[in-house]
Chains A and B, each alone.
Chain A
């Protein structure tokens, strides 16, 4: 349900539009038509969508004069009719947007990829005048289709337009329901809506804009633990910290002699009483069982090589699924990614936490993350890792397992960090990664057809490495044809 309720976005229409065509018409348009007609050339203004023009009033005046001169009641009555119809049309048009309410609401404002939600459009006319015609053009995301309806793509604005037609009687309210299929991840914006209406006689028209916007968030698809192929117990490996840098004041390992730096609460009073000397508690090392998801949005080692959207989507889904698993295991989980949110130029970053809304925040970020990588993933890892408390686990999710990334992972592992790699690359890492748990998930991308070039070769640092099954990679100098290909 839309929170603008009038959430859910029910607001009276603000008239921002023109009234008929006269406000927009150039001053001499009517005369130009007459001049063109006199020259024998047809002049039809096909953009004109209303009946009224200055000719109505001119004709009325002419008929009034003729009627007075010729003492013809019929001509005078015709003149009066023209004036009355124009006046009624103008008044009706002026009041057409008054008391008109448009409301857009969703059955859900968040959905997962592949789900459908119900969209309800409601229009109410709260006045004594009927609204014989009302056309509402609402901005819808072009990427989310509406069942049995068409969302037209406006090529100039690149926005989807959903046009509906309504005809309302006096104090009438109408409702229509549509089904939206959530087939693309992201933050999808609905609105604003432009309402076009006018008088029933087609004399004038006017437009009004409702600036309310609503948001529909489509989360990435989540895989189950079975689909990911993770072990049910300790999927991220056991925790064992041998470092003694940080102590846990709640876990006492023993006693030691009191030192001047020890606070009052560190003193072990019972031991002190027993041994008649000041003794302090010795604490066990402290570890923070935190998990940080590190997502690589790049699908090629070099960004100029291109981008495979579907591959990135799968990687995002894996990251989201892992976050859900962590939340289920009650682990504090955070997220960093080298992609960024629309409108920002900073990499995505959410500190680990275990609040009930943490998974919601992570999925929202994953729903919004774009494909453009702000920096290589290895740089991101090196910048983020030092900020983490000791004992944190790094879950690296990537569609490609290139050499630089693997080298960085090894470096982090050597420094004492716990690292788990989830790769969707076509082949598992060729080099050994001691101390790092690697999950190779090609079954998640089996249905994606990768570009032929990347199935045969990978260009790194100017050397082309040809990968063939069973053979060691051999480097050869880059040739012109390779660079061109």
Chain B
């Protein structure tokens, strides 16, 4: 199976459940191919959970959902060693983090300590419970959600933790046509329940391996570095993109090029990925934020100011 077939098959399968969000699905698949995690920031009722479930079912992956609350403990995520009185020994009960696709709902409602437990698992692909290390399954993709309409009692992820997410994506409201289509699609039955896998886990792992071989021209490489370095020099930015972010952009570019049927990355791929990959990694100064400018606007300015490598 080549990348184009893979992308089309999964997207069309997911498209039976999620209508009009092909671009978001493409970004999720790109994140999957580079084993990166995604932060979905959107209002309730948009279809974040449905999207995660649809992707999980399409990929024949195990799926778990955690609803984050202020009293959630780290053990509720990674698992606990409980004492089996019958056998008089401790047994490890893995938590929901040991799923191939994990949906962490409203991650900003948990305390920082609990958030860290998940984030470490995301970064290391393993969890340590009572000194014992357990590896995460592969593929391993975390979809975390945040509600942008701030309610009291939330703990927004700090910048250092946000950096661990490959992308921050918003779904947005569907268009009028799409919303009508949703009503039609869900009128009689639940398409999610009827959704089945279209690719196997082995195929996903193979795609992940092959994505690393996508060619990145030195000019494009330099372009990526110039973009991320520009974020550090921009006057409105207090904290620019880290080298982790540069690497994230690089790898995401490879994945996206592969999904679009090319074996090389072009500058358009990089520009398309800049908003989801870089926006959440920069911290703009409070004065700039008070003037009404957002990180997305700053990233757009930076993309518009860096020249694309073209021979002229």
Contact = CB atoms under 8 A, between A and B. Distances in A.
Do A and B share a direct contact in the complex (Cβ within 8 angstroms)?
yes
B152 A110 contact: no
A356 B290 contact: no
A351 B152 contact: yes
Contact of B290 (A110, A267, A272, A332): A110
Interface in B134-189: 150-156
B151 A265 contact: no
Contact of B83 (A272, A332, A359, A389): A272
Given A250-B73, A250-B113, A359-B286, A108 B291 contact: yes
B80 A288 contact: no
B289 A360 contact: yes
Contacts of B82: 264, 267, 269
Nearest to A249: B71
B292 interface: yes
Nearest to B110: A250
Nearest to A354: B156
Contacts of B291: 108-111
B113 A265 contact: no
Contacts of A359: 286, 289-290
B50 interface: no
A273 B90 contact: yes
A219 interface: yes
Contact of B292 (A108, A269, A354): A108
A202 interface: no
B81 interface: yes
Nearest to A352: B152
A290 interface: yes
Contacts of B76: 265
A327 B153 CA distance: 15
Given A354-B156, A356-B156, A219 B150 contact: no
Contacts of A269: 80-83, 90
Contacts of B286: 327, 359
Contact of A265 (B73, B83, B152, B153): B73
A267 B75 CA distance: 12
B290 A219 contact: yes
Contacts of B114: 250
Interface in B69-111: 71, 73, 75-76, 80-83, 90, 111
A110 B288 CA distance: 10
A355 B156 contact: yes
Contacts of A270: 83
Question: Interface residue tally of chain B, by bracket?
Answer: 20 to 34
A352 B151 CA distance: 8
A314 to B, nearest CB: 20
Contact of A273 (B83, B111, B152): B83
A357 interface: yes
A334 B152 CA distance: 9
A250 B112 CA distance: 10
B76 to A, nearest CB: 6
Contacts of B155: 354
A272 B150 CA distance: 40
Nearest to A328: B286
Contacts of A363: 290
A116 to B, nearest CB: 14
Nearest to B113: A250
A287 interface: no
Interface string B177-221: 000000000000000000000000000000000000000000000
Contacts of A352: 152
Interface string B282-300: 0000100111100000000
Contacts of A358: 150
A217 B289 CA distance: 13
A265 B77 CA distance: 11
A272 B73 CA distance: 19
B290 A389 contact: no
A33 interface: no
A353 interface: yes
Interface in A215-263: 217, 219, 249-250
B156 A249 contact: no
A190 to B, nearest CB: 15
Interface in B4-30: none
16 contacts: A110-B290, A110-B291, A110-B292, A269-B80, A273-B83, A273-B90, A288-B153, A351-B151, A354-B155, A355-B150, A355-B154, A359-B286, A359-B289, A359-B290, A363-B290, A389-B152
Given A353-B154, A356-B289, A389-B153, 8 more contacts: A108-B292, A219-B290, A265-B73, A265-B75, A351-B151, A355-B154, A360-B290, A389-B152
